[in-house]
Every structure is written in C-alpha cells, then in structure tokens.
Amino acid sequence: MKNYGICYNKTIENSAEIKDRLKKILDKNSVNYEIFDIDNMKSDIDFVFVIGGDGTILKAARYFAQYKIPIFGINRGRLGFLSQTTTDNIESSVEQILSGNYKIEGRMMLTAQGYTALNDFVIKGEECSRTSRFSLEINGKFVCEYLADGIIISTPTGSTAYGMAAGGPVLTPQIEAITIVPICPHTFSARPIVVSSNDEIKILNSKQSKYNVSADGQIVFAPQQDLIIKKSENMAALALLNQNDFYSVLRNKLKWGISPAKM
C-alpha cells in the first residue's frame, strides 16, 4: 500500500484548514499518510500532496526530485501555475489520484555550485542600482558580453515565469532546452537565445563584475568563481491530472491568446 504525504505551508492563509480537509478525504479512503510542513519534509513516502503556491511547490519539487517522489500541487497561492487543482475541486482531484487517473511528468532541472533550480537561476550584479557586465560562455566558447540588469537562465518549466516576463520565449515542458534571457539589456541586439539542455553555460566572474545568484527566487548565493550552469541529473516528478494539459494552463491561468474583450 502506498504511503502518501501531506505537505503544507504554515505561512499561507488557510493552508492548515486545507490540510485538515485533505486528511479527512484520505481517512475516508483508508490510505496511509504522513503530515509535515514545507520546512520539515520527509522522504519515506511514495507520493506527496503539496498545499501552497508556486513557491511552496518549487521548494517541494527540488527536495523530492532527489528521491524521485512525485508531487501534486493544491493551490493556495496567487497564480498557482504549477498546481493542478484548487481547494474548490480538492475532493474530486484527490479521488482521481487515488484511483490512478493521473500521469507523472518529469521536468528538467538545472544545477550550479551545488544548488538546484526547477524554474531558473537569475544572475544580477552586486550593485542592484546599476547595470552590470556579464560575460557569457557556452561549452567553453565565448558568446557575448551583456550590459544589462541581469540574466535569467531557465528551464522549459521556468520559461513561463520570470523569463517570460522579461521577454523570453515560452517552451513546452517536453522540450529539453535552456533559455538565456537578458534583463533590460542596454542594446537592441541583445536577444534571448535557446540552447541545448546538454550545453554548459558559464557566466564569468571578475573583480570588475561581481554578482549574486538566486535559485528559483528562493536561495541566494554569491559565487566566488565563474558560475557554471548545466542540466541536473535529477528531474522533478509532477503528478498531473489527465484532463489538464500545458496549453489549457496557459489559457486559463495566463489568459494566453484570449482577446481582451473576452477577459
């Protein structure tokens, strides 16, 4: 028998109440489960229900990816792009999970200096009030030098996050690729590029251009050497309901391709 996990974020309003609702549903179906919060996650389980917003799901995905444990997001945040259901549909959604009416989708992740990101690594200069110079190499070959507010290195999953807001392309999750998007570049010739997931991306460090890096907007570190970003060996395992697909999420949550008159 599977052992399920209920992971919730105590800092999000009503998260504890949703946790209790989910507990009653699992009790009704006589399944084994454990309850823990996002800051005290456990790995001795087979499947995890994650209650919270995209930030909560990102943190859970990074942790459970190393154990190949699938997660299912229940949205209690704002957009909830990575979640599969809302609290209004929680009972029917959980019933589908328990009956096996779902699929597991592996999502590519990135790694840099021991840190992992499901969405992106964002590189910005130490002096946030000024633009910075970023020298980019791919597979040991010099590509260009950006004069910009920063650079976003993202996965296909992250292409609908900060990268999209900065003018980058949207990639479907099945594509194995990495996007490189400059933030407010000071030249019209600087454009986002898409490279192979097998490429090694390097941002050169120097005394004249020190920078800070954030992983998924949650972990911040300051490299003391060149920053090397590449595909992680681990993949996040997202449990998706069969009726949901990438394009419906774009339409419903980002209002993608919908006429303003219909919004």
Q: Which residues are catalytic?
A: 54
Between CA 56 and CA 64, with CA 58 as vertex, the angle to 5 degrees is: 100
What gap in Å lies between CA 12 and CA 253, rounded to an integer? Answer: 20
What gap in Å lies between CA 133 and CA 185, rounded to an integer? Answer: 10
User: Which run of H or E residues covers position 224?
Assistant: none
Residue 238 backbone class (left: φ over 0; alpha: ψ -120 to 50; beta: rest): beta
Alpha helices in 86-231 (DSSP H): 90-98, 162-165
Q: Which residue type does 74 have?
A: I
Give the contacts of 150 (CB within 8 A, at least 6 positions apart): 122, 123, 124, 125, 132, 134, 182, 183, 184, 211
Give the Cβ contact number of residue 261 at 10 Å.
5
Q: Burial of 236 by CB count in 10 Å (0-12 exposed, 13-18 middle, 19+ buried)?
A: buried
Give the contacts of 61 (CB within 8 A, at least 6 positions apart): 71, 82, 107, 118, 236, 238
Q: Is the CB of residue 202 less than 8 Å from the CB of residue 153?
A: no
N- to C-terminal Cα distance for the chain? 45
Give the Cβ contact number of residue 22 at 10 Å.
22
